[in-house]
Amino acid sequence: MQEVVLVNRVTKIYPNGVKANIEVSMSACSGEVVCIMGPNGAGKTTLIRQIMGLLKPTSGFLRVFNLDPVKHQDYIKRKASYTPQLPLTYPAHRVIEVSKYVGELSGTSLDRVRDFLEALDL
């Protein structure tokens, strides 16, 4: 299996001094399902944002698809996604409209979106 995510001794300290994660290391290979668990404030969201290239680590390094995610955010965002903690809702729109919009963002046809929704029994 190909290593897709490599996190090596990553630490994030915010400007206010809050330490979100300290020397976190992990890896994930293609085909694996990985669960990141911990109590509130453990740094789970910070780690995901670092993996997606949205936050630069204070120390340590990350590679996603063997690339620096901060320098290659556009590529990473085309290949990977995450679901944020807070739901993304559009209360003025029907589900089909939101599904079509989100599909268009990633170049996915509405038929393909429907296939996924049906496979998930949604």
Residue type, 49: R
Encode pLDDT of 47-104 as tens digits.
999 999 989 999 999 999 999 999 998 888 888 877 766 666 677 888 788 888 878 8
Distance between CA atoms of residues 48 and 59, nearest Å: 15
Encode pLDDT of 27-63 as tens digits.
999 888 888 888 888 889 899 999 999 899 999 999 9
CA distances, 108 to each of 38, 44, 64, 73, 114 (Å): 33, 29, 22, 20, 10
Q: Specify the CATH number for 3-79; select among 3.40.50.300, 3.40.50.1820, 2.40.170.20, 3.40.50.450.
A: 3.40.50.300
Q: pTM for the full model?
A: 0.68
Residues 24 and 10: beta-carbon distance below 8 Å: yes
The residues, ordered by sequence, that sit 6+ positions from 15 with a Cβ below 8 Å of its Cβ are none
Predicted pLDDT at 85: 65
Domain ranges of the chain: 3-79, 87-122
